[in-house]
């Protein structure tokens, strides 16, 4: 566009490279930092446009803060800005996770590595539970949504597929709100194309569903591509997908390794989805890390590119709003179920219960950065096991 200032692309790259290297605290913190930078300090866009872009990220699958970065890059510097913002926000976190994955493989089996993770895991459970509490209060606004969330929790624990439960939750709420008429009116107004990413993603999931037990780069990439294309809600919902695909279906990870992967993702800046980098490295070295990262983030770029011209229309679509409520509450149900399962492996004695409880209290009362809590838990585990040994 002609009104874009000279040097806009460099500005976008520099800002999101810095945020990708320093933005700790999860999606809410990332969004707050972006608001401060692009609305308050740099005045690239106004408050309302920022809210419009944030609302649009909630209507498509993928990591919200990364998608917001991609939207902001597009607004400031066009299509090249779209790519630059996303890549610069992701790459610093990916490199940090890659370095920690290497250290984990080299030293994680040593006693000190085991002691460190012994203290980290209960903190991770507390962090996820805290996020679950906050998201649940926002997502469960009435009895219908509460019932849908509880049903998803129960059905996941009975073994139902997490993708079917996510889209089933969206469909249930849409139907209970008279969704048939809403969908027909939406199609009549030209919304059908805009709804395709939301309602058509299971077809992509089916393409990756036929996994094999032997490791293969292609299976790794397709599995993460599927996850990136259908995952709604907080990055912590990623736990449900990783567990179902890599622990239960493929058998490539143990429950303990899954917890370790989430701990590493929490400890590093940038998007939590770089947990995929850690998993990819464990399974396939550096090529696996790169393929996993590309697979999980690629859909975000494609969905933002497809919806960027429709932001203002998407925000006012009643059918998509109803379906999104259902998907969000289903995501909360999945989070609750997986947290309960993983807590059994993390909270194993009085010490881990105490560490988890103190971490939860610190999150509620002090609002500390989760990265500091993870570090404190690791040090506590080292000290306790070292003294006990």
The structure tokens 């294309």 sit at 229
Q: How far apart are the first and last CA of the chain?
A: 65
pLDDT of residue 113: 66
Is the separation of the CB atoms in 169 and 300 below 8 Å?
no
Is the separation of the CB atoms in 258 and 278 below 8 Å?
no
Is the separation of the CB atoms in 325 and 140 below 8 Å?
no
Q: Of 83, 51, 65, which Cα lies nearest the Cα of 23?
A: 65
Is the torsion defined by CA of 9, 15, 21, 27 positive or negative? negative
Alpha-carbon gap, residue 386 to 389, rounded angstroms: 5
Q: Of 85, 92, 82, 55, which Cα lies nearest the Cα of 315?
A: 55
pLDDT of residue 1: 45
pLDDT of residue 223: 95
pLDDT of residue 242: 92
Alpha-carbon gap, residue 334 to 211, rounded angstroms: 22
Apex 224 CA angle, 215 and 239, nearest 5: 100
pLDDT of residue 358: 93
Low-confidence ranges of the chain (pLDDT < 50): 1-2, 180-212
pLDDT of residue 316: 64
Q: Of 229, 191, 174, 189, which Cα lies nearest the Cα of 310?
A: 191
Alpha-carbon gap, residue 29 to 325, rounded angstroms: 22
Is the separation of the CB atoms in 352 and 269 below 8 Å?
no
- For the chain, the domains span 8-86, 87-388
pLDDT of residue 369: 67
φ and ψ at residue 58, rounded to 5 degrees: -75, -15
φ and ψ at residue 2, rounded to 5 degrees: -70, -25
Length of the chain: 389
Cβ neighbours of residue 61 closer than 8 Å, sequence gap 6 or more: 197, 198, 201, 228, 229, 230, 231, 232, 299, 303
pLDDT of residue 235: 64
The three state secondary structure string of the chain is CCCCCCCHHHHHHHHHHHHHHHCCCCHHHHHHHHHHHHHHHCCCCCHHHHHHHHHHHHCCCCCHHHHHHHHHHHHHHHHHHHHHHHHHHHHHHHHHHHHHHHHHHHHCCCHHHHHHHHHHHHHHHHHHHHHHHHHHHHHCCCHHHHHHHHHHHHHHHCCCCHHHHHHHHHHHHHHHCCHHHHHHHHHHCCCHHHHHHHHHHHHHHHHHCCCCCCCCHHHHHHHHHHHHHHCCCCHHHHHHHHHHHHHHHCCCCCHHHHHHHHHHHHHCCCCHHHHHHHHHHHHHHHHHHHHHHHHHHHHHHHHHHHHHHHHHHHCCCHHHHHHHHHHHHHHHHHHHHHHHHHHHHHCCCHHHHHHHHHHHHHHHHCCCCHHHHHHHHHHHHHHHHHHHC
Alpha-carbon gap, residue 264 to 273, rounded angstroms: 11
Is the torsion defined by CA of 131, 256, 115, 92 positive or negative? negative
């Amino acid at each position: 566009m002609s009104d874009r200032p000279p040097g806009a692309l460099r500005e976008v790259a520099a800002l999101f490279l810095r945020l990708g290297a320093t933005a700790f605290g999860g999606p809410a913190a990332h969004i707050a930092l972006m608001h401060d930078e692009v609305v308050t300090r740099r005045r690239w866009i106004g408050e309302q446009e920022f809210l419009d872009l944030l609302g649009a990220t909630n209507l498509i699958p993928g990591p919200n803060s990364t998608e917001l970065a991609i939207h902001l890059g597009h607004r400031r510097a066009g299509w090249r800005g779209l790519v630059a913002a996303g890549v610069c926000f992701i790459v610093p976190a990916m490199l940090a996770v890659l370095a920690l994955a290497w250290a984990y493989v080299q030293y994680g089996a040593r006693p000190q590595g085991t002691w460190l993770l012994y203290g980290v895991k209960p903190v991770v459970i507390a962090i996820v539970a805290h996020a679950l509490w906050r998201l649940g209060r926002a997502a469960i606004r009435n009895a219908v949504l509460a019932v849908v969330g509880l049903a998803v929790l129960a059905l996941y624990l009975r073994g139902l597929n997490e993708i079917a439960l996510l889209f089933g939750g969206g469909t249930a709420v849409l139907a209970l709100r008279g969704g048939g008429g809403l969908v027909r009116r939406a199609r009549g107004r030209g919304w059908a194309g805009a709804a395709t990413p939301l309602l058509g993603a299971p077809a992509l999931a089916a393409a990756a569903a036929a996994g094999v037990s032997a490791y293969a780069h292609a299976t790794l990439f397709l599995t993460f591509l599927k996850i990136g294309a259908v995952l709604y809600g907080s990055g912590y919902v990623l736990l449900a997908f990783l567990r179902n695909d890599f622990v239960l279906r493929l058998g490539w990870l143990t429950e303990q390794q899954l917890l370790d992967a989430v701990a590493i993702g929490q400890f590093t800046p940038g998007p939590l989805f770089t947990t995929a980098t850690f998993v990819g490295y464990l399974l396939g070295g550096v090529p696996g890390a790169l393929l996993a990262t590309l697979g999980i983030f690629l859909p975000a770029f494609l969905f933002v590119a497809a919806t960027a011209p429709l932001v203002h229309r998407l925000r006012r679509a009643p059918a998509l709003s109803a379906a999104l409520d259902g998907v969000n509450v289903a995501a909360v149900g999945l989070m609750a179920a997986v947290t309960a399962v993983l807590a059994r492996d993390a909270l194993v004695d009085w010490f881990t219960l105490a560490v988890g409880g103190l971490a939860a209290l610190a999150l509620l009362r002090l609002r500390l950065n989760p990265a500091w809590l993870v570090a404190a838990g690791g040090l506590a585990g080292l000290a306790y096991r070292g003294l006990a040994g």
